[in-house]
Amino acid sequence: DTAVSQTPKYLVTQMGNDKSIKCEQNLGHDTMYWYKQDSKKFLKIMFSYNNKELIINETVPNRFSPKSPDKAHLNLHINSLELGDSAVYFCASSRLTGISTGELFFGEGSRLTVL
Amino acid sequence: SQQGEEDPQALSIQEGENATMNCSYKTSINNLQWYRQNSGRGLVHLILIRSNEREKHSGRLRVTLDTSKKSSSLLITASRAADTASYFCATDAGGTSYGKLTFGQGTILTVHP
């Protein structure tokens, strides 16, 4: 069983389109994340949800809208896609201990290419 | 600015040799973690070291942490071709950054058979 699964794995689309990436975890974790990895492999957090509540919202354009229907799912919707949105998007989950962030479990990534 | 800076950016060694990667960071931390990423795959957690720990081992991995110098190192002993991957350090600063890991830019390790 895959612990953190995200779909689709590859996404090729035109500028201006809207697209969604879905993520599900079966680890029973209460916290889920979206990270963006650029072409230089730099990994930056975008959003974090704890028990369906948004707890981290980095400086991300409001074209990006996360949605957590329950604590096992965290989806990412992107409106009006731009060339600079091309990247690999990783979903991750973890337990928060109350004082520190434990290990993150990552999905395999969704490679988004905007043409 | 980026929290973690890794050094070297790329490392090429022969199978059986040891590989050492370094990570420096800027703010105080709760813990520091190391991850591996194989090409085209997600990141996999390797080891977590807390701010009150100085050294930790896991199999062929040895991690050190020097909070006075704000630096950490990852040593992989007796490397194998299968260790070829990118290695990232990530820091948990806690406080208002609670729940957020900040990643370094990574070290690309190539182990030649």
Query: Average pLDDT of B51-79?
Result: 97
Query: What pLDDT, on a 0 to 100 scale, did the predictor assign at position A98?
Result: 67
Give the closest of B35, B101, B103 to A101, CB-based. B101
In B1-113, DSSP assigns E strands to: 5-7, 10-14, 19-24, 31-37, 43-50, 55-58, 61-66, 71-76, 85-92, 101-103, 107-112
Pick the more confident residue, B27 or A9.
A9
Contact check, Cβ <8 Å, A105/B45: yes
Is the confidence at residue B99, as pLDDT, over 60?
yes
Query: What pLDDT, on a 0 to 100 scale, did the predictor assign at position A66?
Result: 94
Query: What pLDDT, on a 0 to 100 scale, did the predictor assign at position B1?
Result: 37
Question: What b/e sequence results for A86-98 when a residue is b if at least 16 CB atoms lie within 10 Å of its CB, and e otherwise?
Answer: bbbbbbbbbebee
Q: What is the mean pLDDT of each run of 10 residues along chain A (115 residues)?
A: 91 97 95 94 92 85 94 96 97 82 93 97
Query: What pLDDT, on a 0 to 100 scale, did the predictor assign at position B24?
Result: 95
**Complete DSSP assignment for A15-49:** TT--EEEEEEE-S--SEEEEEEE-TT--EEEEEEE
- Closest approach of B75 to chain A, Cα-based (Å): 19
Question: If you average pLDDT over every residue of chain B, what do you get?
Answer: 92
Determine phi and psi for B81, rounding to 5 degrees.
-55, -35
Query: What pLDDT, on a 0 to 100 scale, did the predictor assign at position B4?
Result: 66
| Smallest CA–CA distance from B103 into chain A, residue | A43
Query: What pLDDT, on a 0 to 100 scale, did the predictor assign at position B96?
Result: 65
Measured distance CA(B22)–CA(B9) in Å, rounded: 10
In chain B, which residues have their Cβ closer than 8 Å to the Cβ of A50? 99
- Cβ atoms of residues B85 and B37 within 8 Å: yes
The percentage of residues in chain B with a pLDDT greater than 70, rounded to a whole number, is 93
Give the closest of B31, B42, B102 to A106, CB-based. B42
Query: What pLDDT, on a 0 to 100 scale, did the predictor assign at position A100?
Result: 75
Query: What pLDDT, on a 0 to 100 scale, did the predictor assign at position A53?
Result: 87
Is the confidence at residue B37, as pLDDT, over 50?
yes
Band of pLDDT at residue B94, cut at 50, 70 and 90 = confident
A44-60 tens-digit pLDDT: 999 999 888 888 888 78
List, in sequence order, every residue forming a beta bridge with A38; answer none if it has no partner: none
Query: What pLDDT, on a 0 to 100 scale, did the predictor assign at position B2?
Result: 42
